[in-house]
Chains A and B, each alone.
Chain A
Amino acid sequence: MNSTRTAPERPRGLTVKNGAAGDKVFSGLTLAAGVTILVVLAFVAIFLTIESLPALSPSLFSDQDSIDSADSFWDYVWPLMAGTVMASAIAILLATPVAIGIGLYISHYAPRRIATPVGYVIDLLAAIPSVVYGAWGMTFLAPLLVPIYQWLNTYLGWIPLFAEAEGASVTSTGRTLLTASIVLAVMVLPIATSLCREIFLQTPKLHQEAAQALGATRWEMIKMTVFPFARAGIVSAVMLALGRALGETMAVTMVLSPGVFSLSLITSGRNGTIPAEIALNFPEAFGMRQAELIAAGLMLFIITLLVNMTARWIVSRHKEFSGAN
Chain B
Amino acid sequence: MSKSITAEDLNVYYGDFRAVADVNIEIAPRSVTAFIGPSGCGKTTFLRSLNRMHEEVPGARVKGDLYLDDDNIYAPGVDPVTVRSMVGMVFQRPNPFPTMSVRENVLAGHKLNGTRMSKSEADDIVEKALRGANLFNEVKDRMDRPGSGLSGGQQQRLCIARTVAVEPDVILMDEPCSALDPISTLAIEDLIADLKEDYTVVIVTHNMQQAARVSEKTAFFNIAGVGEPGKMVEYDQTSVIFNNPSNEQTERYVAGKFG
Q: A-side interface residues toward B, CB under 8 Å?
A: 111-112, 204, 206-207, 209-217, 220, 224-225, 228-229, 318, 320-323, 325
Contacts and interface: CB of A to CB of B under 8 A. Distances in A.
A325 B155 CA distance: 13
A207 B98 CA distance: 8
B98 A229 contact: yes
Given A215-B166, A322-B98, A224 B84 contact: no
Interface centre among A213, A220, A229, A318 (most CB of B within 10 A): A213
Given A224-B108, A325-B146, A215 B159 contact: no
B53 A212 contact: yes
A322 B100 CA distance: 9
Nearest to B113: A215
Contacts of A111: 58
Contact of A215 (B97, B101, B109): B109
B81 interface: yes
A215 B146 CA distance: 22
Chain A interface mostly? helix
Interface string B93-105: 1011111110000
A37 to B, nearest CB: 31
B51 A213 contact: yes
Contacts of B99: 225, 228-229, 318, 321-323
Contacts of A323: 98-99, 148
Contact of A209 (B58, B91, B148): B91
Given A206-B93, A225-B97, A215 B148 contact: no
A179 B108 CA distance: 44
A224 B56 contact: no
Nearest to A214: B109
A111 B88 CA distance: 27
Interface range, B side: 20 to 34
B115 to A, nearest CB: 12
Interface in B46-100: 51, 53, 56, 58, 81-82, 84-85, 88-89, 91, 93, 95-100
B162 interface: yes
B56 A209 contact: yes
B112 interface: yes
A61 B51 CA distance: 76
Contacts of B15: none
A214 B56 contact: no
A244 to B, nearest CB: 28
B81 A215 contact: yes
A215 B95 contact: no
A244 B90 CA distance: 45
Contacts of A112: 58
Contacts of A224: 97, 108, 112
B222 interface: no
Given A224-B108, A321-B99, A325-B148, A210 B159 contact: yes
B149 interface: yes
Contacts of B238: none
Given A212-B84, A214-B84, A214-B166, A321 B112 contact: no
A213 B101 CA distance: 19
Interface in B87-135: 88-89, 91, 93, 95-101, 108-109, 112-113
B163 interface: yes
Interface in B19-38: none
20 contacts: A206-B91, A207-B95, A210-B91, A210-B97, A210-B159, A210-B162, A211-B97, A211-B108, A212-B53, A213-B51, A213-B88, A214-B112, A214-B163, A216-B112, A224-B112, A228-B99, A228-B100, A229-B99, A322-B99, A323-B148
Contacts of B97: 207, 210-211, 224-225, 228
A323 B105 CA distance: 13
B82 A215 contact: yes
A215 B80 CA distance: 8
Contacts of B159: 210
Interface centre among A214, A216, A220 (most CB of B within 10 A): A214
Contacts of B81: 215-217
A214 B88 contact: yes
B98 to A, nearest CB: 3
Contacts of B58: 111-112
Given A209-B53, A212-B56, A214-B162, A321 B98 contact: yes
Enumerate the 8 nearest inter-chain pairs by beta-carbon distance, A residue then B residue, closest first.
A215-B85, A323-B98, A228-B99, A213-B89, A206-B95, A214-B109, A215-B84, A210-B95
Nearest to B51: A213
B98 A325 contact: yes
Nearest to A228: B99
A220 B109 CA distance: 11
B178 to A, nearest CB: 14
Contacts of A216: 81, 112
